[in-house]
């Protein structure tokens, strides 16, 4: 479009009344949110430069990125990197993503420290696991190492109790196996949940003295 393009029509969209179609010099140019059109004071007969038009498109993309972010966060909490990745996959440009992230941070809707705290809390309530796996999961979501460490430390994990709970669930499924095989299967299950060898060994040894005792043959650490 040439400099000095003129708005010739602003029409409400049939499928989305909250958006308006902007016509420039008699032809459809782009759509905008109704709120943005009102905020910028758009009206028929208004003359806009190429810079004005680009600014409107950019502002609208930023608003759409915010709306998409709010829908994603309503489904479940997300880390900043998770949100950035999802917006990128939805086709938003970097300026729109940065604008959305800044606004969401300002509203307190995007907080990696709070996300990490909730993640640890949820994991421990629904599927106990060791510190090592919790840290790996949080790092894989883009949480920085210091924040990961703080979240896990603050949770004051009782890894041995968590490991016993995991082992108890697995024991029922392994009832038909011989003690040595049960011990090895339990060790593998606990290792996959992120528990370290000293914790696993103590739990296995404790189970070895109770009902459904486990054979005390050691599980070599180099098998992990």
pLDDT tens digits for 43-88? 999 999 999 999 999 999 999 999 999 999 999 999 999 999 999 9
Contact 199, 159 (CB under 8 A): yes
Q: What is the CATH number of domain 50-110?
A: 1.10.10.10
Q: Where are the domains of the chain?
A: 1-48, 50-110, 112-155, 160-223
Q: In this predicted structure, what is the pLDDT of residue 20?
A: 95
Fold of 112-155: Arc Repressor Mutant, subunit A (1.10.10)
Q: DSSP labels for 139-185? A: HHTT--HHHHHHHHHHHT--HHHHHHHHHHHHHHHTTTS-HHHHHHH
pLDDT in tens, 143-191: 999 999 999 999 999 999 999 989 988 888 888 888 888 889 999 999 9
In this prediction the pTM is 0.77
Distances in whole angstroms, Cα of residue 162 to Cα of each of 10, 27, 167, 171, 201: 61, 65, 9, 14, 14
Q: What is the pLDDT of residue 171?
A: 85
Fold equal for 50-110 and 112-155: yes
The tokens for 94 are 């970097």
Would you say residue 193 has pLDDT above 50? Answer: yes
What's the whole-number mean pLDDT along residues 187-207? 91
Local confidence band at 2 (pLDDT 50, 70, 90 cut-offs) = low
Asked if pLDDT for residue 216 goes beyond 60, the answer is: no
């Amino acid at each position: 479009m040439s400099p000095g393009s003129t708005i010739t029509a602003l029409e409400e969209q049939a499928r989305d009344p909250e958006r308006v179609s902007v016509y420039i010099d008699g032809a459809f140019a782009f759509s905008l949110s109704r709120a943005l059109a009102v905020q910028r004071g758009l009206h028929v007969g208004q003359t806009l430069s190429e810079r004005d038009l680009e600014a409107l498109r950019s502002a609208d993309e930023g608003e759409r990125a915010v709306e998409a972010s709010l829908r994603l966060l309503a489904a479940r909490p997300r880390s900043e990197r998770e949100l950035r990745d999802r917006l990128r996959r939805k086709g938003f440009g970097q300026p729109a993503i940065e604008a959305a992230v800044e606004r969401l941070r300002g509203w307190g809707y995007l907080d990696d420290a709070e996300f990490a705290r909730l993640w640890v809390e949820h994991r421990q309530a629904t599927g106990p696991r060791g510190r090592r796996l919790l840290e790996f999961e949080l790092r894989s979501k883009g949480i920085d190492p210091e924040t990961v460490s703080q979240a896990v430390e603050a949770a004051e994990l009782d890894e041995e109790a968590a490991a016993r709970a995991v082992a108890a669930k697995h024991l029922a499924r392994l009832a038909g196996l011989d003690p040595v095989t049960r011990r090895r299967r339990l060790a593998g299950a606990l290792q996959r949940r992120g528990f370290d060898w000293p914790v696993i060994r103590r739990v296995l040894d404790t189970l070895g003295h109770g009902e459904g005792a486990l054979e005390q043959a050691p599980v070599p650490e180099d098998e992990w």
